[in-house]
Structure formats: C-alpha cells, structure tokens
A and B are shown apart, each in its own frame.
Chain A
C-alpha cells in the first residue's frame, strides 16, 4: 500500500475513537472518562490531518488547532469542577452524582 493512501490512518483513528467511546460509557471514574474524551478528540484530529494531507488542503490543520485549544480549555474547567465536587462530596463516582435526576 503506497504511503499516501489514507486507509491505515483512518483505521487507526476509528479504533482510537471507539476505544474512547467505550471508555466513556463503561468507566465510572470521571478522570478516566476525561482521558477517553481526549482520546476521541485526538482520534478526530488524526482523521482531520489525514484528509488534509490527502486532499492537500489546510482547512483540516486549522480545525485541529481549534480542537486542541478547546480541548485544553475544557480540561481546565472540567478538572476544576471535578476537584470542587470532590471537596464537597468526598466522592467522585459518576453514578452517584445524580442530584439532577427528574
């Protein structure tokens, strides 16, 4: 397979994304869930880069930078929320945080 074919990269990206989805769905520790979300984001970044290269366009690059920035901000906010939840409740099990149940 010539190196400029995107198939391999896309398969890796799909695998990484799936691992991330499963991680979000099955794990109960919010830190792990966060890492899984990062995994999903980076899988998407990988596809963006692949197509950017394949189509010879810079649009994908720009998207990647955007995603990286937003991901960084999201991690900051999310970790802060997790820390403050832990401080008040001494417990961060995601299934026990159900005070918004209808």
Chain B
C-alpha cells in the first residue's frame, strides 16, 4: 500500500491558523471568541486528521520512510545543500500524533479555561504557532530545520509563559525559560557544526544512515567512541537537557508554571519537553556508537528522576508538584534511552503525554473553580463538589504512579524492565542495577507525591477562604452562619471535561500497545531506532519479568500507603517541619539560589559596573565632554552668525572692497 503522506499539511495548517488568528486584530474581529475557538481548534483538528491518515497508511505501507521536499533552500552553495524537507517515518509519525492529538485536546480545553480573557485571540494564535513549531521540529528531515523548529518551540514557550505579561513574575519566568533554552540551542548549533565537518551534510539520511548502504549507520565508519562522535552526542544531549529540563538545566520548567494552565499542560508536560527525548531517539545511530555519551544520558536521567521526585514530595503549589513530577518522568525516559531502549523512552513519552496533560487539566479545573488559588494547603474536600475532576485526576494519579492496568504501569515497567534486563545480562555493568534501584525509588516517591496531592486537594475538609464572595463582609457573615465556603464552587464546564475524560480514557488503555507480550510500538519504531535494535533484548526473561512487574507495583503501592497514612485523615500533616531534609527539599536544594549567586549576580553586577563606568563614564562622559569643549570655545565666534542676510552681504562687500583696494594700491601698472 502506498503511503498517503500528508505531513506538509500537518505542518502548514497550524501555521495558517497562527497567521489567520493573529491577523484578526487587524480587521477588528478579535473579540469574536466563539469564532476564534472554532478557528484555533479547527486548524489543529485538521492537522490531527492529516497526521492520523499519514500514520495509518504508514503502518500498512511497505516502505518505512516517506520524504517530502517542499523546496530546495540552498542548492549546492559551496558543498552545502539543504532542502526544506519533511520526513515521515515511524518516529515522526508517532510524535506527530502525540503533538497534534494531545494538542487538539488542550486547544478544546482552553476554550473553557481561557474564556473571557481579553487577549483570547493572541492566546490561540500563539497556541497554533506552538503546534507548528513542534511539528517542524519532529518532521524536519535535516538538522538545520530541526534547529529552526527547536528555536521556534523555545520562542513559542517564551510567548506563552509570558502570556500574562502584566505580571512581573510571568515575564521573569518567560525570560528564564528563554535564556536556559538558548543554552541548549547553542549546544545544538555546535553539534550541527561538528556534524557538518564530520559528515559533510546536514540531512538525516547522510548522517544517521550510510547513503551508499542504507542498512548501516554512517557513524559506524568511525568506530566506537570516536572522540568527535562523543563530543557531538554530548552537545546534542546538552540541547536535550535544556529542552527536556534535565539537571542542571531544569530550573526553567517549574517557573514556567506562570503561564496559563493549559499552556503548562501543552508545553511543559505533553509536548515541548519531549523534544529532547525525541532528539536522542532520532539520533540513536550516533549515540549507539558513543556508549560513553549513553552513560551520561542514563546517569543524568536517573539523577534527575530521583532529584525532581524528591522535591515534588514537599511542594505546596499544585502546579509546582506536577512540574517537578514532569521533570522526574522525563528522567525516566532518558534512563531508558541511556540504556539503549529508545522505544521505551518514546513509549513512556506517549503515555506521559496523556496522563500529565490530564493532571494539568484537572489542576486547571481546580484552580479555575477556586478562582486562581494554587496553594494546596488552602484546598481540601473538593471531591464532592467536583466529582468528574476528582475521578479523572484519580485516573491520572493511578497512571503516573504505575498501577495495573493503567498506561503508566506498562511504560514505566518498560523503562524499569530495560534496566533490569540490561543489568542482569551476562557481563553487564552493575551500574544498570544501580539505575534500576534509582528507578524503583523514584516510583515509590511518585506514588507518594501524587497521592499526597489527591488527598490534600480532594479529601478531608476545605481549609481555604470562602469562594466567590462579593465582599469581605459577606464572607464573614457566611462564616458566622457556618455556611458552606464552597457553595459557589462548581464542576468545570463540559468543554473542559470532554478533553479530560478523553485523556483519562487514554491514560487507562494507552499502555496496551506496549506490553511485553505485544510490543507493537517497539516493533513499529525499530527500523528507525538504529541498526540492530532488538526490542526483545530489553525485556526481562522468565521470572525476572514478573519480578520487575512486582517490584514496580510494590514500590508504587508503598508510596501510596505512606501518603494514606500521612494525608488521608482529618488534619493532614501540612505544617512545615524544621527537619533539615524537609527544608532542603522545600527549597529545591537551593539550586535556584546557587545559580543566582554563581551566575546571575556576577553577570548583573558586571553589567551594572560596565553601565556606570564604561557606558556612563567613558562613553557618555567622553562625548559630553567633547561637546562641552566645542561649545565653550565657540562662544566668541558664535556672535558672528547674526542671522541677518544683509549683514552678510555687507561683510561680503567690505571684503570685496578690501581686495579691490589691495589691487589698486599695491599693484601698479
């Protein structure tokens, strides 16, 4: 069967949406919110349908790759020829589905969440632009346009995090995200320079696969652990770490929660942060020949997973808990990729997109209902008021904790099973088992923090202030009457619930395409993920498989158990503790403060000094001094310029007469 490759449409439809919605302001149509919602969702829905068609026909096709060249950008300029081309293969097809599918649900959800925002049109045009940038990133067929998409995604996140630009904190968060992302862009740029000098091309076909022998990796010509290859892969991973918020470049993601909550769901949970995971999987043919870099990937991933999960244990902002949870789950994905099982990384990426987008949507529904309250210490008992939100949040929580049979169980087990299988293989490095232990510990922490969130927000009694009171007097009066402070809290509108229920369904069954017995996803992805990628080697054999299942489940249940003991009671343990460990976690290991002291303060200080002494003293002072000098010396001369034309004429005449006189007197015939 022929591949019905609609990737160009998937790319161009959201771009069109961005341009159309963005130009509505010019025609004074920006207040038709209903039309904007239809436009915004419509373009992405059409893109999703195109992605689905491409995906389905690709799964049934004989060929595994379909390239489209839109046009040739630089045709043999020197030795470099780059075309604006799109590549549809297993990896990009899966990513396109996730990006447009989850993106579409978030677009729909936003119609409810952002209702009444004065910049509704701007929001939807940015959202469409984000989808466009992400599609360009995953569908490009060369590194140059990967970089373009990479940077455009950074721009989109900047625009959306800083969407409420009236808030100084949102602006600061947007700036922080942009600066940290640019560090990664820089790494990618350097990697691209090295790739060009090494392979002489920027196209995936020439770099990842040998052009003369499409079955072999181009990197194999250089042997294993070629220094240049290690440098390239480490620079690529630097880019991935910035985009996917891995240590030590994770700092932008928790702050990025300043944006509207659907944006958090879209950019900072489901799609943008997955770009790094995607890039490692995409360049697996390079990483496979640089095992040293793979160890770095796995190590950073493991450290990040545990580190971020430990911070999530004690945070009190509902979105911040989820943000650190995202960082931790991304660490899982990198652990799997570092162990060589790129398919497991992509698998966890897809399931994580479902349940993390779901959790963020639920959090958004809660924040929406409580009129902007994000502190979980002021929540509680919302279960009865918001049964749908509670139910879907519970599904998301079970999925992320990794409980059978929710999606997260299968994908998390794919990650942990990979590490166990690699660690117990003959002659394997014991470090795999260490990483396995880290993974299990993270699973335990995950179960704890997510159920802490559920219990504190939805169970117990409400601890906040009266919601929806017009005046303070009314609030006090109702408190005296012992009225229900939540009387005005309602379940989210249907337009928000529909995407939530859809994602809850996906979080429940979404893992079934990756079970150890029928790993459809790995088989599908295998041709793209490098030579000799054998999914079966990453599945623990025999009893080990059941040990892996059991251990993961027990860890998650233990975490949930601790959460039940500590938080499922009338007065949950929410008081801040003096325990130094607790303080360390609450302050996020003081990393933000450390960066502030080591990086931000010196740079700002140096800038201030330069401003005062070089800019103000040397340059301004110098030019002002020169002007002063000229002004002072010309005081006497200035009076000559009287401004009277006849005066000048008289002077001319006198001059002429003097010259005439000179001739008459001095030069005699």
Query: Which residues of A are at the interface with B, using a C-beta cutoff of 8 A?
Result: 21, 24-26, 28, 33, 94-95, 97-102
CB-contact partner of A101 in B643, B646, B649, under 8 A: B643
How far is B643's CA from A67's CA once the two chains are assembled, in angstroms? 28
In the assembled complex, how far is the CB of residue B655 from the closest CB belonging to chain A, in whole angstroms? 13
Q: Is there contact, CB below 8 Å, between B643 and A94?
A: no
B639 at the interface (CB under 8 A from A): yes
Asked, given contacts A100-B641, A102-B638, A102-B640, whether A21 binds B646 with beta carbons under 8 Å apart, the answer is: no
The answer to whether B645 touches A94 (Cβ under 8 A) is yes
In the complex, are the beta carbons of B645 and A102 less than 8 A apart? Answer: no
8 tightest A-B CB contacts, nearest first: A101-B643, A98-B643, A102-B641, A102-B638, A24-B649, A94-B645, A100-B643, A25-B646
Q: Which residues of A contact B640 (CB under 8 A)?
A: 102
Contacts of A26 in B (CB 8 A): 646
Pair B644/A25 contact, Cβ less than 8 Å:
no
22 residue pairs of the A-B complex, CB under 8 angstroms, read A21-B653, A24-B646, A25-B646, A25-B649, A25-B650, A26-B646, A33-B645, A94-B645, A94-B646, A95-B644, A97-B643, A97-B645, A98-B642, A99-B643, A100-B643, A101-B643, A102-B637, A102-B638, A102-B640, A102-B641, A102-B642, A102-B643
Q: What chain B residues lie within 8 Å of A33 (beta carbons)? A: 645
Residue in B639, B644, B650, B653 whose CB lies within 8 Å of A98: B644
Nearest B-chain residue to A36, judged by Cβ: B649
| CB-contact partner of B641 in A24, A95, A101, under 8 A | A101
Cα(A1)–Cα(B642), bound, Å: 49
Contact assessment for B653 and A25 in the assembled complex, using a CB-CB cutoff below 8 Å: yes
- Determine the distance from Cα of A26 to Cα of B649 in the docked complex, in whole angstroms: 10
Chain B residues contacting A97 (CB-CB under 8 Å) are 643, 645
- Closest-by-CB residue of B relative to A21 is B653
Q: List residues of chain A with CB within 8 A of the CB of B638.
A: 102
- With both beta carbons as reference points, the residue of chain A lying nearest to B635 in the complex is identified as A102
With a cutoff of 8 Å between Cβ atoms, the chain B residues found around residue A28 in the complex are 646
| B residues less than 8 Å from A100 (CB atoms) | 641, 643
Nearest CB of B to A40, in Å: 11
Chain B residue nearest to A28 in the complex (CB): B646
Bound CA span A95–B646, Å: 8
Bound complex: CA A97 to CA B642 (Å): 11
CA distance A26 to B653 in the complex (A): 13
C-alpha gap A95/B647 in the complex (Å):
10
Measured between beta carbons, the chain A residues less than 8 angstroms from B642 are 98, 101-102
Q: Looking across the interface, which residue of chain B has its beta carbon closest to that of A98?
A: B643
Residues of A within 8 A of B643 (CB): 97-102
Q: How many Å lie between the Cα of A70 and that of B644 in the bound state?
A: 25
Instruction: Beyond A28-B646, A94-B646, A97-B643, list 14 extra A-B contacts (CB 8 Å).
Output: A25-B646, A25-B649, A25-B650, A26-B646, A33-B645, A95-B644, A95-B646, A97-B645, A98-B642, A99-B643, A100-B643, A101-B642, A102-B637, A102-B638
Interface residues of B in 635-669 (CB under 8 A from A): 637-646, 649-650, 653
CB distance from B507 to the nearest CB of A (A): 75
When distances are taken between beta carbons in the complex, the residues of chain B under 8 Å from A95 are 644-646
Contacts of B653 in A (CB 8 A): 21, 25
Q: With the chains together, A21 CA to B650 CA distance in Å?
A: 9
User: Which residues on the B side are within 8 Å of A24 (C-beta)?
Assistant: 646, 649
B567 CB to closest chain A CB (Å) equals: 80
Q: Which residue of A lies closest to B646 (CB)?
A: A25
**Bound Cα distance A33, B645 (Å):** 11
* Chain A residue with the shortest CB-CB distance to B657: A21
**How distant is the Cα of A99 from the Cα of B644 in the complex, in angstroms?**
9
Residues of chain A contacted by B646 (CB below 8 angstroms): 24-26, 28, 94-95
With a cutoff of 8 Å between Cβ atoms, the chain A residues found around residue B644 in the complex are 94-95, 98
CA–CA, A25 and B657, complex, Å: 15
Q: Given the complex, which residues of A lie within 8 Å of B645, measured CB to CB?
A: 33, 94-95, 97
B375-386 interface bits toward A, Cβ cutoff 8 Å, 1 = contact, 0 = none = 000000000000
Kindly name the residue among A21, A33, A97 whose own CB sees the greatest number of chain B CB atoms within 10 A: A21
Q: What separation, in Å, do the CA atoms of A9 and B637 have in the docked complex?
A: 43
- Whole-angstrom distance between the Cβ of B139 and the nearest chain A Cβ: 61
User: What chain A residues lie within 8 Å of B637 (beta carbons)?
Assistant: 102
| Cα–Cα distance between A33 and B642 once the two chains are bound (Å) | 19
Give the chain A neighbours of B641 by CB distance below 8 A: 100-102
Most buried by B among A94, A99, A102: A102
- Kindly state the separation between the CA atoms of A36 and B638 in the bound complex, as whole angstroms: 29
Rounded to whole Å, the gap between the CB of B632 and the closest CB of chain A is: 14
Shortest CB distance A9–B (Å): 19
Residues B649 and A102 in contact, CB atoms below 8 Å apart: no
Shortest CB-to-CB span from A22 to chain B, Å, is 10
Distance between A76 CB and nearest chain B CB, rounded to angstroms? 19
Residues of B within 8 A of A101 (CB): 641-643
Q: With A and B bound together, what is the CA distance between A25 and B640 in angstroms?
A: 18
For the complex, what is the distance from the CA of A33 to the CA of B638, rounded to whole Å?
A: 26
Q: How far is the CB of A77 from chain B (nearest CB, A)?
A: 16
In the assembly, what is the distance between CA of A24 and CA of B645, in Å?
10
- Tell whether, in the assembled complex, residue A102 and residue B650 are in contact, meaning their CB atoms are under 8 Å apart: no
Distance of A42 from chain B, by nearest CB (Å): 17
**Alpha-carbon gap, A68 to B639, bound state (A):** 36
Contact string, B617-638, partner A, CB cutoff 8 A, digits 1/0? 0000000000000000000011
Q: Look across to chain B and name the residue whose beta carbon is closest to the beta carbon of A27.
A: B646
Q: How far is the CA of A72 from the CA of B637 in the complex (A)?
A: 35
The docked-state distance in angstroms from the alpha carbon of A23 to that of B160 is: 74
The CA of A95 and the CA of B644, in the complex, are separated in Å by 6
A21→B653 CA distance, assembly (Å): 8
Interface positions of B from 504 to 547, Cβ below 8 Å from A: none
- With a cutoff of 8 Å between Cβ atoms, the chain A residues found around residue B649 in the complex are 24-25
Shortest Cβ distance from A97 into chain B, in angstroms?
7
Instruction: Kindly state the separation between the CA atoms of A28 and B646 in the bound complex, as whole angstroms.
Output: 8
Q: How far is the CA of A73 from the CA of B650 in the complex (A)?
A: 24
Task: Give Cα A35–Cα B342 distance, bound, in whole angstroms.
Answer: 94
CA distance A33 to B648 in the complex (A): 13
Docked pose: A99 CA to B641 CA in angstroms: 10
**Interchain nearest-CB distance for A28 vs B (Å):** 8
B639 proximity list for chain A (CB < 8 A): 102
A5 to B416, CA, bound (A): 124
**Chain A residues within an 8 Å CB radius of B650:** 25
Closest to A99 in B: B643
The CA-CA distance from A97 to B645 in the complex, in Å, is 8
Task: Return A16 CB to nearest CB of chain B, in Å.
Answer: 16
Residue of A nearest to B653 (CB): A21
